[in-house]
Chain A
Amino acid sequence: MSEAAPGAHAGVHTDHHAPPGFWRTYVFSQDHKTIGIQYAITALLFLLFGFTLMMIMRWQLAYPGQSIPFIGKFFGDANAPDGVMLPEFYNQLGAMHGTIMVFLGVVPLAVGAFGNYVMPLQIGAPDMAFPKLNMMSYWIYFVGGLTMLSSFLIPGGAAASGWTSYAPLSVIATAGQTVWLFGMICLITSSLLGSVNFITTIFQLRAKGLSFMRLPFFVWAQLVTSFLLLLAFPPLEAAGVLQLMDRLAGTSFFMPSGLVVSGQPLAYSGGGNPLLWQHLFWFLAHPEVYVLILPAMGIVAEIIANNTRKPLWGYRSMVSATVFLGFMSFVVWAHHMFLTGMGTVISSFFQATTMIISIPSIIILTALFLSLWGGSIRFTTPMLFALAFLPMFGIGGLTGLPLGLAPADIHLHDTYYVIGHFHYVVAPGTLFALFAGLYYWFPKVTGRKMNDTLGRIHFWFSFAFINGVFMPMFIQGLAGVSRRLYDGGAMYSHAQGVMHLNVFMSVCAWCLGLAQIPFIINFFWSIWKGKKVSDNYWDATTLEWSAATSPPMAHGNFATPPEVYRGPYEYSPPGSGRDFLPQNKPEEAR
């Protein structure tokens, strides 16, 4: 790749007119930083809400059929008569927990918030390439989120067919599923607008001298993520419209002939195929896994380089692995469908691609592990979360191996083993990385740092309890306990030996909830009362710290367009005697 500098951004300052009013500044803002903050706050609220749904479900799993204490009476007779959760309500909570955490929580926080706020600053851009599109992306996401929430209030309640919404169950489900589909269409549209914007911005608005191989790894992660969103989401949007047609217009895209529900033949012409939905769904939802994990890896990479005070080890191989991972993520989707009646040839193909995709993940993780060697490690609060990401994501990745090999998957498919596996990837994996990012870039956004004592309390308790929630799931899964059971499997003989774990897991989940209180207090307290810090608090090399103020200028980000002279992680460069060399510091005469 050429080291030649891409053109400096055209027209740095476009807005010399009067400052915009309240609405344009704080609500319908086109500034990527404000939009990033809007995304962050909305996504954090959704994460808290989605987590709360799970804490309610965990009551039913720990104490099946017992009245939910304190809050049980607020759910109404249709959901929880006398405070005892009904199976219908349990299924709603399950489906909405998954949907909210993935589409309304983690992705908007990882991409919408961190991508929006940090990426333009890291590449020295005055804003995103399409500020109006950016604003539109947030507001469509917001409407999608409200749509999803509103479905709890309609008769029959929210969607209850799992976040996967497999047909025909979803097609014959109550009206909540229609609302879910409308919500999903909003969220997908929002992601598509965002991804186009990210790609254009990264290609067109890099600072002078900032070649692709000088990009911070976080920007690479966001770039590949955007391509995944752009290419994987349209099939699901189409599939969502088809399912909407099946529900509202009586078409049979996913409905085979001869369906009989509760003894009554269904009025569908038939001829459709329920597996078509699964293919279209997983064609998105597998790349989606990498949408969840790549930005997290990007954040962790930034924080590790900064807190080891040395360059990332194997930056080039990490970048190649990320790009390869992006490509491969499009050809592994059917490993979610081994048990749908797959023959040997197709299953061999998808098993092989699944084993192949594990290699770039291992390369990235290995590079991050090896980056620690020789470092001078500062155990700052963001670094604690970033370090914890490594073994946690490791467990998530390793437990994917037996699921990716079809014969082992026969026993483990649709058991708690799967739940444990993907939660290790996304919860103590991605969410810990996102917390790391929040602690790391908080001084950038506010000019103040978060309290370290509260941060450490938050970290250690979260780390202990989150493992308490998910580790026993592997034990239950190996024993063969199915997922999505309203009573946790209490009536099954094969589950008896591992049922007692449910109480432990639930208590851990509630304690995990309590462990977030120090974070919430710290977050709000630090916004107003946190210790004021310098522009480059972490002594970082990348442009968002070295070339911009904290917080950055409202418009245009940089007083003068930054120019880049070197790679992103010139920490402890040999011979210079310095601790770090910012990307925008001109070369000194030797």
Chain B
Amino acid sequence: MGEFLGLPFDASAHGPLIDRMIILVHWLMLVLFTGWGSYFVYVLLRFRRSRNAKADYRGVRNHASSYLEGVVAVIEAVLLIGFAIPLWSMRVNDIPPETDATVVRMVAEQFAWNVHYPGPDGVFGKTDISLISPENPLGLDRNDPAAKDDIVTINQLNLPVGKPVIIHLSSKDVIHSLNLPLFRVKQDAIPGQSIRVWFTPTVTTADIQHTMARKFAVPSGKVPDELASLVTLADYTGKDGQVVLAKGASLTDDVLPALRDAGIVEVVLAPETPTEIACAQLCGLGHFRMRGFVTVQTAEEYKAWVADQEAQISQ
């Protein structure tokens, strides 16, 4: 059913639970719709005027429908009490301790996601709106000792795999909504409030890319739109050893002849940035392009990334 519904790849620990909920409800919907639908079609054929010239004043004489309504009510109650409430409670109440988690602040603005890491000291530096400038979108006070090691990025959220993430989410201007579809996370970012949202990424972005990679035959004519947005995961070389299509590049119309000359008939392509941040709440004219990226890395890669960022701050 999940396949049939076309739900995106699951990349967080709680994602399968949410998907299970969606799938269960859709089973209920499917059963009700097919049941009602078959009844409907039967009745329209059976009781059409040419077949049934005289209507029956009383019609249905039994109370089967009351029992059916009762059954639907019970199923809804089970879905609500057995699945929905516990799952919601897990999402908003069972937040892991910050000491065991990657903690970040995310501050949305028209039309970007500011990401604020506390750095090795684990303490967020002070911010002040009077310090806000194009170079300092969060108004971080670098004179505050706690702020000295803080990492600030725009539209880029790096996370280590397998460790819970706690995001303190807020907004500078209007209401935005942090949408991480592959992680089954969505939370409104509301100015004047800081809301905690958490999840545990279970797969690295690179692994997701490899899982989502598909083999495609090299097109004979133009590159269709659905391939143009994908990238290669390895170099493709010609007979002379020259790279015809580099790793990370997209298929374009002009490389097709070279690929054909090299005898390459199929290529493996995957989404360039499978784990994205989208804005889910209308926030103005740039709402559609308020896009960011999540990069889930192995613990070592993440450590290296943090070290690299720290090195840039101290420069």
Taking a contact as CB atoms under 8 Å apart, the answer to whether B174 and A482 are in contact is no
Q: How close is B101's CB to chain A, nearest CB, in angstroms?
A: 19
Cβ < 8 Å to B, chain A residues 327-365: 339-344, 347-348, 351-352, 355, 358-359, 362-363
Interface string of B87-98 (1 = CB under 8 A from A): 111011100000
> Shortest Cβ distance from A163 into chain B, in angstroms?
10
Residue contact B282 to A362, C-beta cutoff 8 Å: no
Interface residues on A, range: 35 or more
Return the contact of B29 from the options A310, A391, A399, A499 (Cβ within 8 A).
Answer: A399
Q: A355-B77, A493-B271, A573-B57 are in contact. List 11 more A-B contacts (CB 8 A).
A: A310-B59, A339-B188, A374-B55, A374-B59, A375-B55, A376-B47, A411-B7, A413-B280, A414-B177, A480-B181, A480-B278
Q: Is B6 a contact partner of A478 (Cβ separation < 8 A)?
A: yes
A418 → chain B closest CB, angstroms: 10
- The answer to whether A372 and B190 touch across the interface, beta carbons within 8 angstroms, is no
Q: Collect the chain A residues with CB atoms within 8 Å of residue B8's CB.
A: 479-480, 494
Q: Chain A 305-337, CB within 8 Å of chain B: the 1/0 string? A: 000111101000000000000000000000000
CB neighbours (8 Å) of A454 from chain B are none
Q: Per-residue 0/1 for A127-144: is the Cβ within 8 Å of any B Cβ (1 yes, 0 no)?
A: 000000000000000000
Which of chain A's residues has its CB closest to B286's CB?
A87
A258 touches B129 (CB 8 A): yes
Chain A residues whose CB sits within 8 angstroms of the CB of B92 once the complex forms = 342-344, 347
Looking at the assembled complex, report how far the CB atom of A480 sits from the nearest CB atom of chain B, in whole angstroms. Answer: 3
Docked complex Cα distance between A573 and B184 (Å): 57
B220 → chain A, closest Cβ, in Å? 20
- Check if B58 is an interface residue, CB within 8 A of chain A: yes
Contacting pair B186 A414 (CB below 8 A): yes
CB–CB B173/A261 < 8 A: yes
Bound state CA distance, A88 and B282, in angstroms? 12
A484 and B87 CA atoms in complex are apart in Å by 28
User: What's the minimum C-beta distance from B24 to chain A, rounded to whole angstroms?
Assistant: 9
B-facing residues in A485-533 (Cβ within 8 Å): 485-487, 489, 491-494, 496-500
Which residues of A from 451 to 485 have beta carbons under 8 Å from B? Answer: 475, 478-480, 482, 484-485
- Are A310 and B56 touching (Cβ within 8 A)? yes
- Whether a CB of chain A sits under 8 angstroms from the CB of B44 is yes
Contact residues of A between 394 and 419, Cβ < 8 Å to B: 394-395, 398-399, 401-402, 405-408, 410-415
- Bound Cα distance from A59 to B284, whole angstroms: 20
**Least Cβ–Cβ distance between B274 and chain A, in angstroms:** 5
| A411 and B281 within 8 A (CB) | no
Contact B291 A373 (CB under 8 A): no
Contact between chains at A362 and B69 (CB < 8 Å): yes
A258 to B193, CA, bound (A): 11
**A166/B285 in contact, CB under 8 A:** no
Assess whether B261 is interfacial by the CB under 8 Å rule.
no
Question: Does B310 count as interface, using CB distance less than 8 angstroms?
Answer: no
- Complex CA–CA separation, A302 to B52 (angstroms): 20
Question: Cβ of B188 and Cβ of A259 under 8 Å apart?
Answer: no
Which of A351, A487, A500 is B85 in contact with, Cβ under 8 Å? Answer: A351
Q: When A366-B69, A478-B7, A480-B181 are in contact, do A500 and B225 touch as well, CB less than 8 Å?
A: yes
Q: How far is the CA of A123 from the CA of B36 in the complex (A)?
A: 33
Taking a contact as CB atoms under 8 Å apart, the answer to whether A411 and B47 are in contact is no
Alpha-carbon gap, A234 to B130, bound state (A): 40
Contact B85 A491 (CB under 8 A): no
Q: Check if A169 is an interface residue, CB within 8 A of chain B.
A: yes
Identity of the chain A residue whose Cβ is nearest the Cβ of B229 in the assembled complex: A496
Q: Which 9 A-B pairs have the closest CB atoms?
A: A256-B192, A480-B181, A374-B56, A374-B59, A486-B288, A310-B55, A169-B174, A485-B288, A341-B195
- Interface segment among B15-23, B149-157, B246-254, B299-307: the answer is B15-23
Q: Closest chain A residue to B289 by CB distance?
A: A491
Prevailing SS type, chain B contact patch? mixed
Asked, given contacts A87-B286, A265-B130, A491-B291, whether A311 binds B57 with beta carbons under 8 Å apart, the answer is: yes
With A310-B55, A355-B77, A376-B55 known as contacts, the answer to whether A405 contacts B21 (CB < 8 A) is yes
Q: Is A553 an interface residue (CB 8 A)?
A: no
CB–CB B47/A373 < 8 A: yes
- Please give, as numbers and ranges, the residues of chain A lying within 8 Å of B83 by CB-CB distance: 405, 407
Once the chains are docked, how many angstroms separate the CA of A407 from the CA of B216? Answer: 36
Q: CB distance A344 to B93 under 8 Å? A: yes
A407-B17, A407-B83 known; A572+B129 contact, CB < 8 A: no
| B252–chain A nearest beta-carbon distance, Å | 17
Q: Which of the residues A166, A263, A378, A479 comes within 8 Å of B281, measured between beta carbons?
A: A166
CA gap between A341 and B22 in the complex, in Å: 21
Q: Is A236 an interface residue (CB 8 A)?
A: no
Bound CA span A487–B285, Å: 11
Residues of B within 8 A of A479 (CB): 6-8, 181
Cβ contacts under 8 Å, A407 to chain B: 17-18, 21, 83-84, 87-88, 91
> In the complex, are the beta carbons of A391 and B192 less than 8 A apart?
no
Instruction: For residue B41, give the distance in angstroms from its CB to the closest CB of chain A.
Output: 10
Known interface pairs A265-B130, A493-B274; A169-B283 also in contact (CB < 8 Å) = yes
For residue A407, which residue of chain B has the nearest CB?
B87
Which listed residue (A369, A410, A492) contacts B291, Cβ 8 A? A492
Q: Closest A-chain residue to B178, C-beta based?
A: A339
Interface residue ranges of B1-44 to A (CB < 8 Å): 5-8, 17-19, 21-22, 25-26, 28-29, 32-33, 36-37, 39-40, 43-44
Contacts of B40 in A (CB 8 A): 369, 372, 390-391
In this complex, how many residues of chain B approach chain A with their Cβ under 8 Å: the count is 100
A493 touches B190 (CB 8 A): no
Whether A394 and B55, one on each chain, are in contact in the complex, defined by CB atoms closer than 8 angstroms, is no
Task: Check if A201 is an interface residue, CB within 8 A of chain B.
Answer: no
Determine whether B142 belongs to the interface, using a CB cutoff of 8 Å to chain A.
no
Is A238's CB within 8 Å of the partner chain B? Answer: no
| Known interface pairs A371-B59, A408-B25; A379-B48 also in contact (CB < 8 Å) | yes
Contact partner, B59, options A352, A375, A497, Cβ 8 Å: A375
Known contacts A166-B175, A259-B191, A342-B92; A377/B57 CB under 8 A? no
Within 8 Å CB of A11, what residues of B? none
Asked whether, in the complex, the Cβ of B6 is within 8 Å of the Cβ of A497, the reply is yes
Does A162 count as interface, using CB distance less than 8 angstroms? Answer: yes
A161 within 8 A of B: yes
| A243 nearest CB across to chain B (Å) | 14
Q: What are the residues of chain B within 8 A of A379 when measuring CB–CB? A: 48-49
Q: Contact: B173 with A359, CB < 8 Å?
A: no
CB of B54 within 8 A of chain A? yes
Asked if B185 CB lies within 8 Å of chain A CBs, one says yes
* Complex Cα spacing A231 to B32, Å: 34
Q: Which residues of B contact A478 (CB under 8 A)?
A: 5-7, 22
A 209-252 contacts with B by CB, 8 A: none
Given contacts A87-B288, A344-B85, A395-B33, contact A410 B91 (CB under 8 A): yes
Q: Flag B185-203 by CB within 8 Å of A: 1 or 0 each.
A: 1111011110100000000
Shortest CB–CB separation between residue A366 and chain B, in angstroms? 5
Using CB atoms, name the residue of chain B closest to A168. Answer: B174
How far apart sit A374 and B52, CA to CA, in the bound complex (Å)? 8
Contacts of B93 in A (CB 8 A): 343-344
Our pick among B77, B190, B276 for the contact of A275 (Cβ within 8 Å) is: B190
Considering only CB atoms, which chain B residue lies closest to A366 in the complex?
A: B65
Query: What is the minimal beta-carbon distance from B185 to any residue of chain A, in angstroms?
Result: 7
Query: Complex formed: what's the CA distance from A88 to B288 in Å?
Result: 11
B79 CB within 8 Å of chain A: yes
Cα separation A374 to B73 with both chains bound (whole Å) = 27
B40 → A minimal CB distance (Å) = 6
User: B271 near A341 (CB under 8 angstroms)?
Assistant: no
| B148: interface (CB < 8 Å) | no
Contact check, B60 vs A355: say whether CB atoms are below 8 A apart: no
Would you call B192 and A274 a contact (CB within 8 A)? Answer: yes
Write the chain A residue with the least CB distance to B32: A398
What residues of chain B lie closer than 8 Å to A256, measured between beta carbons? 191-193
In the assembled complex, A273 has its CB within 8 A of some CB on chain B = yes
The CA-CA distance from A489 to B195 in the complex, in Å, is 26
User: A172 in the interface, Cβ–Cβ < 8 Å?
Assistant: yes
Q: How far, in angstroms, from A270 to B172 measured CA to CA in the complex?
A: 13
